[in-house]
Amino acid sequence: MTDEAKSDLESWWVLRAQSGDQAALDELLKSVQEPLYRYIFSLVREQPLAEDILQEVLMRIYRKLGWLREPRVFRAWTYQIATRETFRHLKRERRWQEQIRDETDLQMMPVPPREEFAPDLLARLPQLVAKLSPASRAVIVLYYLHELSLDETAAVLSVPIGTVKSRLAYGLESLRQQFHKQEETSTRRA
């Protein structure tokens, strides 16, 4: 099924669910449950916490679905809810350590190109991404793994596009540094 067809089907389910169709609501929640779980888990890196947050996110989606005016933005809207709920948990548990550089200087930063990764890096990528700050990790995961645009990522995270660019640049630079450190370590061992 193409992305457009999937979006049309989700829009149809949203409209039906908003009019009280329980089966449509079940299908909607089923369609986003796994991607949202992967996204939340990539931010918190703990299965029980990710499952707890997912349950809260699904409840928020259920309660607020009637207020969604544009069915076509359903999926981005769910990521926005998941992001807010995840960051709320991270803050509450005092794990949230924002690493934002001076954003005023970074507002004019060019859009980083999507990078292709070597297969050996792909195998190590989950461990490298787990070491990023939650803010950078969220941008990297949404932009690369969930293939949202920079504008969509900014909307999901409720931050300016310049912030998304700075977090993306910071996250990619951090990944490069970690990768080079691992390469140096493995070269010395050989």
* CATH code: domain of residue 35: 1.10.1740.10
109 shares a domain with 87? no
Looking at the fold, whether 76 and 9 belong to one and the same domain comes out as yes
- The residue segments making up the domain with residue 116 are 103-189
CATH code (residue 111):
1.10.10.10
The answer on 74 and 32 residing in a single domain is yes
Q: How much is the pLDDT for 143?
A: 87
Same domain, 134 and 176: yes
Residues 164, 116 share a domain: yes
Look at residue 40 and tell me whether its pLDDT is greater than 60: yes
Per-residue model confidence (pLDDT) at position 141: 87
Using one digit for the tens of pLDDT, what is the confidence trace for 105-155?
A: 445 555 555 555 556 666 677 777 888 888 888 998 888 888 888 888 998
Q: pLDDT, tens digit, for every residue of 57-99?
A: 999 999 999 999 999 899 999 999 999 999 888 877 654 444 3
pLDDT of residue 108: 53
Residues 26 and 85 in one domain: yes
Q: Is residue 98 part of a domain?
A: no
Q: Is residue 97 part of a domain?
A: no
The last residue of one of the domains, among 65, 92, 119, is: 92
Q: Are residues 8 and 51 in the same domain?
A: yes
The residue from 35, 60, 92 where one domain ends is 92
So what's the pLDDT on residue 16?
A: 93
Give yes or no: residues 124 and 185 share one domain.
yes
- Give the pLDDT score at 128: 78
pLDDT averaged over every residue in the chain: 82
Write the single-letter amino acid at 51. E
Same domain? 73 vs 107: no
> What's the pTM value of the predicted model, to 2 decimals?
0.62
My answer on whether 111 and 182 are in the same domain is yes
Q: What is the pLDDT of residue 64?
A: 93
List Cα–Cα distances, 62 to 8, 14, 145, 160, 162, in angstroms: 19, 11, 25, 27, 32
Cα separation, 22 vs 159, whole angstroms: 34
Phi, psi for residue 101 in degrees, rounded to 5: -80, 180
Number of domains in the chain: 2
From 64, 92, 120, the end of a domain falls on 92
Domain assignment present for residue 85? The answer is yes
pLDDT of residue 78: 95
* pLDDT surpassing 60 at residue 102: no
List, as one string, the DSSP characters of 113-147.
Answer: PPPP--HHHHHHHHHHHHTS-HHHHHHHIIIIIS-
Q: Are residues 39 and 110 in the same domain?
A: no
Q: Do the domain assignments include residue 24?
A: yes
15 and 87 part of one domain: yes
Indicate whether 185 pLDDT > 60: yes
